[in-house]
């Protein structure tokens, strides 16, 4: 690249406090009247004699009569908080209220309220393994990271990048302890998971420490093979019973637990004295299948169980936080639900109609340019470097040379590793894609291999600064396309590389999808 030197930190520091030109690139909401559900999953569990003792969702009410707050967001501009409620009793989340409150700033989800009335709210997690946030706590999820539609309404899920986690307070109300029976289900994004320990939702230790076999009973979702696995390459639904992710009666391979990766996946785990089960299915259609139904593990500690009765989301019982996933809704019950009750819950979930949400401007096949939004650089575009294979930002304008314009133009392709995400092919170097390697971005020719395909796939979501889009990597979902000193990286907030600095983080990872320069 000959346009200007790559390192200009002084200019960056001086100008970054200036006023950014704000270009809204809002996604388009698909909406229809906010119809109240006649009954929610928790009404079904109650009718089955196994009532919910915790009900968490950022997308919808889980009781037909619920009219309270679903979750709380906090914005970075002034640290104010907003409780996001439902559009109508028993209905869908009021995402428009969040969008308005969080316009042009960063919001994180601070509380996921318990709809059961028992006060088992999920808040920022912590535990034995430190999280990346202040005080060793876990990160909080970006509130706008995973828009979807439910019943035609735009709502948001909870995006768990590695380092993100939630935990109830130490004292919960009504959640199973000891060997008491319980059930649970959750809806996850089957296309977002990893092999880190442990993307869990369910019953875990009070202290955030591993207190021994049988002290947990949670749904695990992902491709971790440290303790157990099923057929295929994962992800699998397993039960985290502490010191083990169980895909069947004992640790190790269990052939009845299939890889399951529906875009919206229903996952079920339940347990009672010397009996437990794993079930799962497609949350958009069909019924649940049973992947395990039998006795407790035969090694010491799991029969009887020693459940402790707090609830975790996104981490393991000892706050292991290397895992990734997306959560939309989930409940814990008192008592061991029947298969028939769970089948009715699955029918309710299917009827709720989860669907993906289209991100405006990122149509597969279209040509785009990506403009930086940091105040220093709002005339700069992401482009490949002519001198080498690096990726940089530099000014592009109508008077720029044609070669510069071409360098800054990209063709949106279906994600090479995941069709729900995107890859960016160079407009002037066909067959060459943006990919990360060593957490730096390069333009390289695709080789068809799984590593390249993953390194070249990014899963866009609305920009974490409130502008444009952000692009986490599919294989490192806490690493975002980020410019730093005019070079482009796959960066993680407060990581160990210089380009992971929190300074200007939200702006540096938020990009406007602009008209193509070439």
Of 35-43, 152-160, 238-246, 281-289, the segment contacting ligand AHR by CB under 6 A is: 238-246
Asked if residue 267 lies in contact with residue 186, where contact means CB atoms within 8 angstroms, the answer is yes
- Specify whether the backbone of 376 is left (phi greater than 0), alpha (psi in -120 to 50) or beta: alpha
Torsion of the alpha carbons at 63, 67, 72 and 77, rounded to the nearest 10: 150
User: What is the CB neighbour count within 10 angstroms for residue 80?
Assistant: 12
- Catalytic residue list contains 3: no
User: What is the CB neighbour count within 10 angstroms for residue 11?
Assistant: 14
Of 310-318, 397-405, 422-430, 469-477, the segment contacting ligand AHR by CB under 6 A is: 310-318
- Would you count residue 243 as binding ligand AHR (CB under 6 A)? yes
Q: Which is nearer to ligand AHR, 241 or 408 (CB)?
A: 241
Give the pairing of strands 325-334 and 310-313. Answer: unpaired
- Would you count residue 210 as binding ligand AHR (CB under 6 A)? yes
Q: Which of 182, 240, 342, 508 binds ligand AHR (CB under 6 A)?
A: 240
- Catalytic residue list contains 242: yes
- Would you count residue 318 as binding ligand AHR (CB under 6 A)? yes
Q: Which of 317, 325, 462, 468 binds ligand AHR (CB under 6 A)?
A: 317
> Which of 242, 380, 493, 500 does the annotation list as catalytic?
242
- Would you count residue 314 as binding ligand AHR (CB under 6 A)? no
- Specify whether the backbone of 334 is left (phi greater than 0), alpha (psi in -120 to 50) or beta: beta
Q: Which is nearer to ligand AHR, 236 or 489 (CB)?
A: 236
**Phi, psi torsion values for 96, nearest 5 degrees:** -65, -35
- Would you count residue 492 as binding ligand AHR (CB under 6 A)? no
From 506, 495, 500, 442, select the one nearest 468 (Cα to Cα): 506
Copy the structure tokens of residue 104.
């042009």
Give the pairing of strands 422-426 and 310-313. Answer: unpaired
Q: Which is nearer to ligand AHR, 139 or 243 (CB)?
A: 243
- Would you count residue 44 as binding ligand AHR (CB under 6 A)? no
Question: Could you give the string, one character per residue 140-179, with x where binding to ligand AHR holds by CB under 6 A and - elsewhere?
Answer: ----------------------------------------
Asked if residue 310 lies in contact with residue 277, where contact means CB atoms within 8 angstroms, the answer is no
Q: Which is nearer to ligand AHR, 122 or 143 (CB)?
A: 122
Q: Which of 62, 93, 238, 245 binds ligand AHR (CB under 6 A)?
A: 245
Question: Could you give the string, one character per residue 176-205, with x where binding to ligand AHR holds by CB under 6 A and - elsewhere?
Answer: ---------------------xx-------
> How far is residue 256's CA from residue 157's CA, in Å, rounded to a whole number?
29
Q: How many residues of this chain interact with ligand AHR, rule: CB under 6 A?
A: 12
* Burial environment of residue 119 by CB neighbours within 10 A (0 to 12, 13 to 18, 19 or more): middle
What Rg, from alpha-carbon coordinates, does the chain have?
A: 23
State the minimum distance, in angstroms, from the CB of residue 197 to ligand AHR: 5
Of 105-113, 236-244, 283-291, 377-385, the segment contacting ligand AHR by CB under 6 A is: 236-244
- Would you count residue 333 as binding ligand AHR (CB under 6 A)? no
Residues paired with residue 200 on neighbouring β-strands, in sequence order = 220
Asked if residue 162 lies in contact with residue 478, where contact means CB atoms within 8 angstroms, the answer is yes
- Would you count residue 244 as binding ligand AHR (CB under 6 A)? yes
Residues identified as active-site: 242, 318
Site residues (CB under 6 A) for ligand AHR?
197-198, 210, 240, 242-245, 316-318, 320
């Amino acid at each position: 690249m000959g346009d200007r030197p790559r390192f200009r930190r002084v200019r960056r520091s001086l100008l970054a406090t200036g006023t950014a030109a704000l270009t809204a690139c809002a996604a388009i909401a698909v909406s229809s009247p906010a119809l109240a559900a006649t009954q929610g999953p928790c009404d079904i569990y109650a009718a089955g004699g196994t009532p919910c003792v915790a009900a968490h969702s950022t997308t919808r009410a889980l009781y037909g009569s619920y009219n309270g707050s679903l979750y709380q967001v906090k914005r970075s501009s002034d640290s104010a908080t907003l409780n996001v409620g439902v559009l109508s009793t028993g209905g869908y989340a009021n995402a428009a209220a969040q969008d308005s409150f969080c316009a042009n700033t960063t919001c994180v989800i601070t509380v996921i309220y318990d709809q059961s009335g028992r006060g088992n709210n999920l808040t920022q997690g912590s535990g034995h393994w430190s999280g990346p946030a202040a005080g060793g706590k876990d990160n909080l999820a970006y509130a706008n990271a995973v828009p979807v539609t439910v019943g035609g309404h735009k709502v948001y899920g909870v995006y768990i990048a590695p380092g993100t986690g939630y935990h109830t307070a130490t004292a919960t109300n009504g959640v199973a302890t000891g060997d008491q029976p319980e059930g649970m289900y959750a809806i996850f994004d089957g296309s977002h998971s990893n092999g880190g320990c442990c993307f869990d939702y369910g019953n875990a230790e009070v202290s955030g420490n591993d207190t021994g076999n049988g002290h947990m009973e949670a749904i695990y979702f992902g491709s971790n093979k440290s303790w157990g696995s099923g057929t295929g390459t994962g992800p699998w639904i397993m039960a985290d019973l502490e010191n083990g992710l169980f895909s069947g009666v004992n640790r190790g391979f269990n052939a009845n637990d299939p890889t399951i990766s529906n875009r919206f996946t229903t996952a079920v785990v339940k347990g009672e004295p010397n009996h437990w089960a794993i079930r799962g299915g497609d949350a958009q259609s069909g019924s649940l299948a049973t992947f395990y139904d039998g006795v407790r593990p035969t090694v010491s500690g799991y029969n009887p169980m020693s459940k402790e009765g707090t609830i975790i989301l996104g981490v393991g019982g000892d706050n292991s936080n290397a895992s990734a996933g997306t959560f939309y809704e989930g409940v814990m019950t008192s008592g061991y639900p029947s298969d028939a009750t769970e089948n009715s819950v699955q029918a309710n979930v299917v009827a709720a109609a989860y669907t993906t949400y289209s991100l405006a401007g990122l149509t597969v096949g279209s040509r785009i340019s990506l403009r930086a939004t940091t105040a220093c650089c709002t005339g700069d575009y992401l482009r490949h470097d002519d001198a080498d294979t690096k990726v940089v930002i530099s000014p592009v304008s109508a008077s720029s040379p044609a070669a510069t314009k071409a360098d800054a133009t990209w063709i949106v392709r279906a994600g090479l590793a995941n069709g729900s995400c995107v890859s960016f092919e160079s407009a002037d170097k066909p067959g060459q894609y943006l990919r990360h390697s060593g957490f730096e971005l390069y333009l390289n020719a695709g080789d068809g291999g799984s590593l390249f395909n993953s390194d070249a796939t990014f899963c866009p979501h609305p920009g974490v600064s409130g502008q444009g889009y952000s692009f986490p990597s599919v294989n490192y979902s806490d690493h975002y396309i980020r410019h730093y000193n005019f070079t482009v990286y796959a960066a993680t907030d407060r990581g160990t590389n210089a380009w992971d600095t929190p300074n200007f983080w939200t702006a540096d990872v938020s990009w406007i999808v602009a008209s193509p320069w070439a």
